[in-house]
Copies of this chain bind each other. A is one copy, B any other.
C-alpha cells in the first residue's frame, strides 16, 4: 500500500521521466488508459497490448501513456489514440473521458494516477500493431472472462485494467440507449441492419429488425436517409443507406429489456 521507490525499466521511460521533471522523479505520474472499442465479426472488441516488461510481463494491458507536462489528459488521449490506430480526432469517432483510477499501489513502480478514456471506432483494416515492438490485437470482450465466463483462453489482464474495461463496457452499453453513439462504430454511411448489428453486439442480445427500424426512424435526429442504396452482400433485398443525424440525445431512448439491476420486492 505504501509507494515504492521508482525503478525505471526501459530507456524510453527513463528518458521520459528525466525530461518530465528535471529536478528528479515525480511523485505522481499522470497517465491515460485508452479503451478503444470496435465491432469485429459481429462482436464488441477492445484493443489490448501484450506487456513486454515488468510489471505484468506477458499480461494484456490497455494502450496508454504519460500525459505530457504541457498537455491536458484529453489531448494526451487523442494523441495516444492516433499513435495506436492512426485515426485522427474528428467527427468520425467518439472519444470521451471515462473515470480516473488512483488507488495507491495500482502500479508497483510508483504512484500512477490514470485517467481512462474510451473511443468508439469503425472496424479498422488491420490489427494496428503499435509503433513499438509490443504485440497489439483486438479482443472480443466476451473472450476476456470479465463476467464470470472465464476460460483458460481468457487473457491475464494487467494492473486494474479488468476493472477499467468493465466500467467502460457499462458506460458504453448505457450510453447507446440515450445517445446516437452507436453510429460511431460504423462508416459514414450505413444500413439500418448495420446499426442494429451494432446494438446487438454491444448488448449481446438479438433485436427485432422491424421494430428496431420503426424505433430508429421515429427518433428525431438519430439517422438521416441518403438517396442511394448499398449492395446486397448475401442475397436479399438491397437496403437503403443512412448517415448519422444531428441529435445529441435520443428522445425517446432505445430501451434494453435486460437491465442489470436487482429488482426486489417493491412497494
Contact = CB atoms under 8 A, between A and B. Distances in A.
Interface stretch (A96-104, A143-151, A200-208): A96-104
A74 to B, nearest CB: 7
B99 A220 contact: no
Interface residues of A, number: 53
Interface in A1-27: 1-3, 20-21, 23-24, 26-27
A251 B258 CA distance: 10
A247 B220 contact: no
Contacts of A20: 27
Contact of A100 (B29, B73, B223, B245): B73
B249 A252 contact: no
A153 interface: no
Looking at chain A's contact residues, the main secondary structure is: loop
A87 interface: no
Contacts of A24: 23-24
Copies in the complex: 2
Contacts of A69: 3, 27, 104, 111
A221 B264 contact: yes
B102 A99 contact: no
A253 to B, nearest CB: 8
Nearest to A99: B97
B266 A261 contact: no
Contacts of A261: 221, 247-249, 251
A224 interface: yes
Given A1-B70, A225-B267, 8 more contacts: A3-B69, A21-B27, A67-B102, A71-B104, A219-B266, A220-B263, A221-B264, A224-B265
5 contacts: A69-B111, A70-B104, A73-B113, A220-B263, A248-B261
